[in-house]
Amino acid sequence: MKLSKKSVFTAAAALLLAVSVAGCGKVSVGYVDQDRLNEDCPQIKTTLAEWQGKMDELRTESEKQMSDAAASGASDEEMTKLQQQIQMKVISMNQGFQNQMRAKVDAAINEVAKEKGIDVVLHSDEQDKVVISGGIDITDDIINKLQ
């Protein structure tokens, strides 16, 4: 029991020392408004339009596959299997586009944070305010980086 109290005290002391050494606990916080980013960033709009086009193509192709399968007398089991394959394609495509957009935005955020000496960047928008007061809004800088 004494050992665990000693370990907790040592960990707390180490954390306190680390905060002190890191600049007396001063942290520069930036935030990004994701809604504004989606509305005002041409590169994100282009990526979303591309995604929508691909989804429309997939929807048309899937409807044709389902129609052809039904017309050829596919069993309920075969139709279910085809639906599952189509759902997997949709999920895969969605994840691919989300990962592509997230990578671009994260790279821009990291660049801007490094340039401005920001230690922490938070997501904040009108509906889900994370930063109520203070902080540095870097949304415009991110939009500029992504152009």
The pLDDT of residue 23: 53
Q: What is the CATH number for 99?
A: 3.30.910.20
Residue pair 37/105 in contact by the 8 Å Cβ criterion:
yes
The pLDDT of residue 22: 52
- Give the CA diameter of the chain: 76
Give backbone dihedrals phi and psi of 115, rounded to 5 degrees, phi first: -60, -40
Number of folded domains that form the chain: 1
The pLDDT of residue 13: 42
Q: Which residues pair with 121 in a beta bridge?
A: 30
The pLDDT of residue 9: 44
Please tell me the distance from the alpha carbon of residue 93 to that of residue 54, in angstroms, as a whole number.
Answer: 8
The pLDDT of residue 55: 94
Query: What's the domain range around 30?
Result: 2-145
Answering whether pTM is above 0.75, one says no
Per-residue pLDDT of the chain (147 residues; tens, 9 = 90+): 344 555 444 444 444 444 444 555 678 899 898 888 888 999 888 888 999 999 999 999 999 999 999 999 989 999 999 999 999 999 999 999 999 889 999 999 999 999 999 998 988 777 776 766 778 889 898 999 888
